[in-house]
Amino acid sequence: MTEIGEQTSVRDAGKKPQMKRSSAQRMGKFRWLNYRMDRVEQRQRKIMRMLQVITNSLEPFIQVDNREFLGIICKDEVDEALVEYLGVRGGGGLTPGEACAPDELLSYRLKAYQVTRRIQGMNVRLRKWLGKDVAVSLRRRWQLSRFAEKMFGDAEDDGDAEDEEVSEEDVED
């Protein structure tokens, strides 16, 4: 009996002991990677929902700089110019055709449908982060939402307050 045991141990000496197969080997590597990506994306969606709940609850206390706000919603300088022009235009809003005409936006050669698409894209980006719209369409006229007006209004008020402080100091001297 000892001879047989010795012979098997000599035969098995060259082989590595068999290990358990990994999950990737059992499922297939591509399928396993897809499974892992799905789990990561689920976690990311959950974190984004929690972030939205937190930002919505803290909205009254949020003060964002004008440039940071534009950085979130605008993908390029054309979007920035369009949002600034909407802010200047104010109350009545403007149609996409009117947005193409002014000198500020003429250099970008926008068409009416491009104005609408750009505003909708900015709405999607801001909705993704805060659940709010940048601009709303009322009777085919785009105007800044109250949230965006508040964000731009706060930035303008801060700038005016600094100018007033400087002018008061000049008067005292």
Amino acid at 17: P
pLDDT in tens, 71-83: 888 999 999 999 8
CATH class of 63-161: mainly alpha
Identify the pLDDT of residue 4: 53
Q: What is the pLDDT of residue 77?
A: 92
Query: Which sequence spans correspond to the domains of the chain?
Result: 23-60, 63-161
Mean pLDDT for the chain overall? 78
DSSP string, 93-143: -B-HHHHHSSHHHHTTT--HHHHHHHHHHHHHHHHHHHS--SEEEETTEEE
pLDDT value of position 170: 44
Give SS3 for 37: helix
CB 114 within 8 A of CB 104: no
Give the model confidence (pLDDT) of 85-121 as tens digits.
888 877 778 888 888 887 778 888 888 899 999 999 9
pLDDT at 44: 95
The residue ranking higher by pLDDT, 51 or 104, is 51
Q: How confident is the model at residue 161 (pLDDT cuts 50, 70, 90)?
A: very low
